[in-house]
Amino acid sequence: MDLRGKKILVTGADGFIGSHLTEELVRQGHDVRAFVLYNSFNSWGWLDHSEPGVRKSLDVFAGDVRDPNGVRTAMRGCDVVFHLAALIAIPYSYHSPDTYVDTNVKGTLNVVQAARDLGVARVVHTSTSEVYGTARYVPIDEEHPLQGQSPYSASKIGADQIALSFHRSFDTPVTVARPFNTYGPRQSARAVIPTVITQIRAGARTLKLGSLHPTRDFNYVADTVGGFLALAGADAAVGQVVNVGSAFEVSIGDTVRLIAEVMGAQVEVSTDDQRVRPEKSEVERLFASNDKVRALTGWSPEFAGLDGFRRGLERTARWFADPENLRLYKADIYNI
């Protein structure tokens, strides 16, 4: 499918990955409608920090994916939908799981129901590597069993299955993009990489962190965006679940050491119990196979391997080094 000339909606356009995706679509010359969470401050989230030319090019719709009427209105006239709107913080899902079902499961139902009724040509639904839970084998391919180890991951499993069920039942043209651990400028400090960077930038040399032994497959946000765009244009990806990952595994502890090296800091780590997941909820290992996305689209990560990871961390640390960006974070507070 050629995206040129298509009206494109991005839900969650105000968020971390969504804002980067929205900006890239605009830079490529696409007609983009940005679905942002309604608020009385008229804030567009991270899009407020986009280049003036990007902001002026956007058709912004403020609403809530939990509301089917607003979702349908936002999607009317659109050919392609990138559905990224979701609640994603794992600790917050422990004490407010209802909101995750409402936003992630019902929100996705609203999107695919409207897509079916309106005849949308393509829906790229955003999943997460958390649905796999702790790896039973590596690299993790798309046939790996699903394990809901947190209310968040359980809600995303439900959302994925809702999306796929509409393809199987009604031929709704859905692709499930399953990104592994995305990082980069604008990421919430609830995630480990911005947590480490912001603490170091704030002057801390004893960092408060959770478990250091789990491994992750980190992906620089530009790679995640590239994977999403490639999947939207691949007809063969319709009805498929597709990993978007770097195929590179690194522990949290080694990640901390690499960030400190990139930032020229000597640090120690202190375990903060409130940052440690319950034992059976911790995902111990994530390591992606990206063979399928390569075969379907030809996409491959530009920030792959240890060298690519270092380059991505350098870019991320530079962004946080800007005082105007750093002041948006509360490095002294645990952000769930």
Q: Which residues contact 3 (CB under 8 A, 6 or more apart)?
A: 28, 30, 80, 229, 232, 233
Q: Would residue 273 count as lying in a domain?
A: no
Q: Would residue 63 count as lying in a domain?
A: yes
- Measured distance between the N- and C-terminal CA atoms of the chain, rounded to whole angstroms: 39
Domain count within the chain: 1
Q: Would residue 268 count as lying in a domain?
A: no
Mapping DSSP to helix (H, G, I), strand (E, B) and coil, where does residue 87 land? Answer: coil
- Calpha distance 229→220 (Å, rounded): 15
Q: Residue 279 class from Cβ within 10 Å (0-12 exposed, 13-18 middle, 19+ buried)?
A: exposed
Q: Would residue 54 count as lying in a domain?
A: yes
For residue 11, what are the domain limits?
Answer: 7-184+219-247+285-304
Instruction: Please give the chain's pLDDT, 336 residues, in tens.
Output: 999 999 999 999 999 999 999 999 999 999 999 999 999 999 999 999 999 999 999 999 999 999 999 999 999 999 999 999 999 999 999 999 999 999 999 999 999 999 999 999 999 999 999 999 999 999 999 999 999 999 999 999 999 999 999 999 999 999 999 999 999 999 999 899 999 999 999 999 999 988 999 999 999 999 999 999 999 999 999 999 999 999 999 999 999 999 999 999 999 998 888 888 888 999 999 999 999 999 999 999 999 999 999 999 999 999 999 999 999 999 888 877
Q: Would residue 228 count as lying in a domain?
A: yes
Specify the CATH number for the domain of residue 103: 3.40.50.720
